[in-house]
Chain A
Amino acid sequence: MAKKILLSYGSGGVMMHRFINDVIQKKFSNPLLDKLNDQSVFNIEKHRLAFSTDSYVVDPIFFPGGNIGDLAINGTINDLVMCGAKPLYLSVGFIIEEGFDIDSFEVIIDSMSNCAKKAGVNIITGDTKVVQSGKADKIFINTSGIGILENDLNISGDNAKPGDKVIISGTIGDHGMAVLTKREGIMIDSDIKSDTMALNRLVEKMLIHTDKIHAMRDPTRGGVATTLNEIANQSDVGITIYEKNLPIRENVKAACEMLGFDPLYVANEGKLIAFVEPDIAESLVEVMRSTDEGKDACIIGEVIKEYPKKVILKTSIGGSRVVSMLTGEQLPRIC
């Protein structure tokens, strides 16, 4: 049988990483791409620029706390700022299914416009395609973004160092569970809202406070577990996290419990994980907590020399277990 693309190739987990590494990266390989960050940083004359792209296929397109348009703007902004860049301009590409409700479309682009304004970026180019009914599912959006680095920091997934503290900017699992509880076939009553938001203001404040941030990433698809595993792999270090310290809302916990999900693997759309030098960790958390975006920030663990490329969770009863990278498809089309 000819090999086919499986849903899990887009899950954010092991299969996707393998597919990207073995099939895509191999063909396009170059030193910038091969860093495998969510954005690339490069120089044009005296300027250091960051460039990133992302496509959004979330289902349902409207969910508590936002819609596909919010994700499309905030998601790409967040990918840019995770290297310390200031986001400047975005492009937007729509693929729309014939018959899609124009009122819904307007709600989506209103959200996009508001998010862009709020973050202080402009959408400066775009493209619109319509395909026959049934050839796409309502609407898919691609955004690309460009930003500028006004510092000489090397904030990169391969730069986490033993001793670093691991900080998360707030509660985990909100976005994934908000989408999931509204999905056809599951539909449970809950007041869980997506955390979709742009993190550029938060990161700006963090960078004013310190230049001792080694790595940052937003734990979207595949959740916190996947992001920590990616950083452990890229930086060739071990990471320990403490179950007791993980900030999870009660309603998210309950929904995860009911549906059999581990919040560590559930997507977030307005959170970041930072790997920072230990001496500034606590003061940085204080700075983060003074912002709306980071009001629930806390230290969840540290980088260790032992267990390279592994993430170890210290359980609340004092045992330990591995937190492995997501395998298979947990939730298709979450962003």
Chain B
Amino acid sequence: MKFITEFRDSNLAESIIKLLRKEAYPNSNLMEFCGGHTVAIFRSGIREVVPKNVKMLSGPGCPVCVTSNSDIDKAGKVVRYPDVILTTFGDMMKVPGSYDSLYDLRAKGYDIRVVYSTIDALKIAEENKNKKIVFFGIGFETTAPTIAASIIEAKRRNINNYFVISVLKLTIPAIKKLLSLGEVKVNGIIGPGHVSTITGANDWKFLPDEYKIPCVLTGFEPLDILLGIKSLLDMIKQNKQELVTEYLRSVKPEGNIIAKEMIEKVFIVDDSDWRGFNVIEKSGLKISKEFEEFDAEKVFDLKTEPSIKNCGCKCDEVLRGIISPVECSLFREVCNPENPLGPCMVSSEGACAAYYNYYVE
């Protein structure tokens, strides 16, 4: 098994597509929560091959996209302190905050570096003892363990010039919020494969149990997604609400225990400001008291002015699944990947960028 080619087999894909088309399924809205799925669906052209009466909606599962202006403003403030080197994942660079993107700030001369992992940020800290290295910690349950690991490692090695702005977010409270708003009818959910690898499949039982919505946890290859869609449509047709794990090669019922323990050790659950939703209760991870010497929000004063919303940007509605990116009047002409007005156009996993890059009009 190479775990890639097998799940891209075009003959198998064709036979699933045939089955999908043969069966008469009821009109359905399926939401993929995860930005990784949004991109995978576009890249493999899945929207084109599913039955015409099945609508694919993109959810708020792109960590860059849901990072609020207030979060970005904190990063914009910390770089202004003397001797600070801000480190961040590449996708965050171009997201406009209330005033500047990190890209703009770097061009103005602030020291902002893109890293591939928190370990690189730690290395920069070790090599620059006279500087303060701040890691801009965005992401979901998937990145939280790596950020936790870097903080634990910094403590173990007495690295005292490494700090983290934790604006980490938890996916399940956001899905609950989205469903409770009732703005979109969702008949089935393609659950996030990577997040559920950490949280475990069991954490997703609330969808069928509490919300009566079938959910399939799938991987990211074309066959994974096609099988997931078929399984959801079969359940919808039979009026069954269950949790199905298609991504068995990665997702276990109990999840990744070690990763979960690390998250628990370093973070506490707190409210968090989401783009598109404002503050959602108990949906974020802040650094716990035990590790507060690494908490940039404790070490620096990062209180910012109330954030300013980018004029005309409809990312909020896109993230809540109310409109598709092409329904935004700024899409393509005014807002595009070179000149993004909102994060959904910036992030490689954002719905707007996916439409811009891959959608055949």
Contacts and interface: CB of A to CB of B under 8 A. Distances in A.
Interface of A: 1, 4, 6, 8, 14-15, 18, 185-186, 244, 253-254, 257, 259-260, 307, 312, 314-322, 324, 327-328
B115 A185 contact: yes
Interface string B333-361: 00011100000000010000000111110
Interface string B220-247: 0010001000000000000000000000
B45 A18 contact: no
Contact of B358 (A18, A307, A322): A322
A320 B45 contact: yes
B44 interface: yes
Contacts of A321: 42-45, 358-360
B12 to A, nearest CB: 9
Given A257-B4, A328-B338, A317 B107 contact: no
5 contacts: A15-B338, A185-B120, A317-B49, A318-B49, A327-B338
A244 B5 CA distance: 12
A1 B49 contact: no
Given A317-B17, A327-B337, A244 B10 contact: yes
Contacts of B358: 321-322, 324
B330 interface: no
Nearest to B348: A260
Contacts of B293: none
**Residue among B4, B42, B45, B356 having the largest count of chain A Cβ atoms under 10 Å:** B45
B13 interface: yes
Given A6-B103, A315-B44, A316-B222, A322 B359 contact: yes
Interface in B47-61: 47-49
Contact of A319 (B44, B116, B336): B44
A244 B11 CA distance: 12
A312 B45 CA distance: 11
Interface of B: 4, 8, 10, 13-14, 17, 42-49, 94, 103-104, 107-108, 115-116, 120, 222, 226, 336-338, 348, 356-360
Contacts of A324: 356-358
A328 B337 contact: yes
B360 A1 contact: no
B4 A253 contact: yes
Nearest to B45: A319
Contacts of B108: 1, 4
A312 B4 contact: no
A322 B10 CA distance: 19
Nearest to A313: B45
Nearest to B48: A319
B360 A318 contact: no
Nearest to B107: A4
B338 A317 contact: no
B338 A14 contact: yes
Contacts of B116: 185-186, 259
Given A4-B107, A15-B338, A18-B338, A318 B13 contact: yes
Given A1-B104, A186-B116, A319 B46 contact: yes
B360 A317 contact: no
Contacts of A316: 8, 10, 13, 44, 222
A15 B4 CA distance: 33
Contacts of A314: 45
Contacts of A185: 115-116, 120
Nearest to A318: B49
B337 A317 contact: no
Contacts of B47: 319
Contacts of A259: 116
Contacts of B226: 317
A317 B46 contact: yes
A74 to B, nearest CB: 30
Nearest to A8: B338
A318 B358 CA distance: 15
A321 B44 CA distance: 8
Contacts of B17: 317-318
3 closest A-B pairs by beta carbon, nearest first, are A319-B45, A327-B337, A317-B13
B120 A312 contact: no
Q: Which of A316, A321, A322 has the most CB of B within 10 A?
A: A321
B44 A322 contact: no
A1 B348 CA distance: 27
A322 B222 contact: no
Nearest to A13: B338
A177 B210 CA distance: 47
B14 A317 contact: yes
Contacts of A1: 104, 108
Contacts of B336: 327
A320 B41 CA distance: 11
Contacts of A315: 43-45, 222
